[in-house]
């Protein structure tokens, strides 16, 4: 069965600083991996996805993530944080069909001015 | 495009009452998903449909929960009878094929 661990339930960065949100996965089959963002009182929005193509995946709003099989990781990064990036971020893994998503517990990102 | 539409946005009910949550997926999408989000358990997939047919309902917590998709543009999630522990935000999502799910704004359910 697939599972996801997000290290750090809260991350705080200064505006303009690097954003790094950590995600490690467990999967018995080659995984599909996703990052979603949730703003307060809204649904989830897909930031980016890894579906076995390039290991470095670029998403919306300047975010990217790198799939590292040897480390079973899929960390999310952004070179320079913006106030509008403050939200909760979820990493998710799916098995072979890309449909049944298993989500991590989420990381709340705070951006300080 | 209107996106995924869910109604109601908020629902407050008393224990024992029947609750029906509604979802209209994005037109043309062939997959529909129901999720539940709580502080304790996070985001959980309850059930998903493909072309109106339930594919996996292993996440449905118990027999009090049921979901239907009578046509490609409408789905319901019903809880009967409701209990306080059912209080959560329920999300509907849809997709065209796998990988990219579009989420609705959610229904916040409070069972007193």
pLDDT for B27 beyond 80: yes
Per the listing, tokens 């996703």 go with A34
Closest CA to B24 of B104, B109, B107, B108: B104
pLDDT in tens, B89-107: 999 999 998 878 999 999 9
pLDDT for A28 beyond 80: no
CA A61 to CA B71: how far, in whole Å? 35
- Whether the CA torsion A75, A80, A86, A87 is positive or negative: it is negative
Q: Are strands B107-111 and B102-103 parallel, antiparallel or unpaired?
A: unpaired
Q: Which among B42, B45, B102 has CB closest to A100?
A: B45
pLDDT for B1 beyond 70: no
What pLDDT sits at residue A64?
A: 97
List, as ranges, residues 40-59 from B with C-beta within 8 Å of A: 42-45, 48, 50, 55-56
pLDDT in tens, B45-63: 999 999 999 999 999 988 9
- Whether the CA torsion A101, A55, A43, B100 is positive or negative: it is negative
pLDDT band at B112 (very low <50, low <70, confident <90, very high): very high
pLDDT for A52 beyond 80: no
Enumerate the β-bridge partners of residue A67.
A74
Pick the residue of B40, B95, B103, B107 with the most A CBs within 10 A to test the interface with A by mutation.
Answer: B103
Cα distances (angstroms) measured from residue A40 to each of A37, A58, B106, B108: 10, 24, 11, 13
pLDDT in tens, A13-27: 999 999 999 999 998
To the nearest whole percent, how much of chain A has pLDDT over 90? 74
pLDDT for A96 beyond 80: no
């Amino acid at each position: 069965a697939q599972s996801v661990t997000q290290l750090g339930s809260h991350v705080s960065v200064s505006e303009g600083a690097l954003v790094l949100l950590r995600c490690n996965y467990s999967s018995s089959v080659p995984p599909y991996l996703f990052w979603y963002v949730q703003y307060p009182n809204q649904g989830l929005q897909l930031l980016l996805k890894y579906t076995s193509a390039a290991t470095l995946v670029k998403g919306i709003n300047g975010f990217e993530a790198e799939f590292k099989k040897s480390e079973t990781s899929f960390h999310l990064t952004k070179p320079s944080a913006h106030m509008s990036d403050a939200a909760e971020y979820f990493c998710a893994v799916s098995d072979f069909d890309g449909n049944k998503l298993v989500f991590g517990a989420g990381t709340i990102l705070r951006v300080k001015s | 495009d209107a996106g995924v539409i869910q109604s109601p946005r908020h629902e407050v009910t008393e224990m024992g009452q029947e609750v029906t949550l509604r979802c209209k997926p994005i037109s043309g999408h062939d997959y529909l998903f129901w999720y539940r989000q709580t502080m304790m358990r996070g985001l959980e997939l309850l059930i998903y449909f493909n072309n109106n047919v339930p594919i996996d309902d292993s996440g449905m917590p118990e027999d009090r929960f049921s979901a239907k998709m009578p046509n490609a543009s409408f789905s319901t999630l019903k809880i009967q009878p409701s209990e306080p522990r059912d209080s959560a935000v329920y999300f509907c999502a849809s997709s065209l094929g796998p990988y990219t799910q579009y989420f609705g704004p959610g229904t916040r359910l409070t069972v007193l």
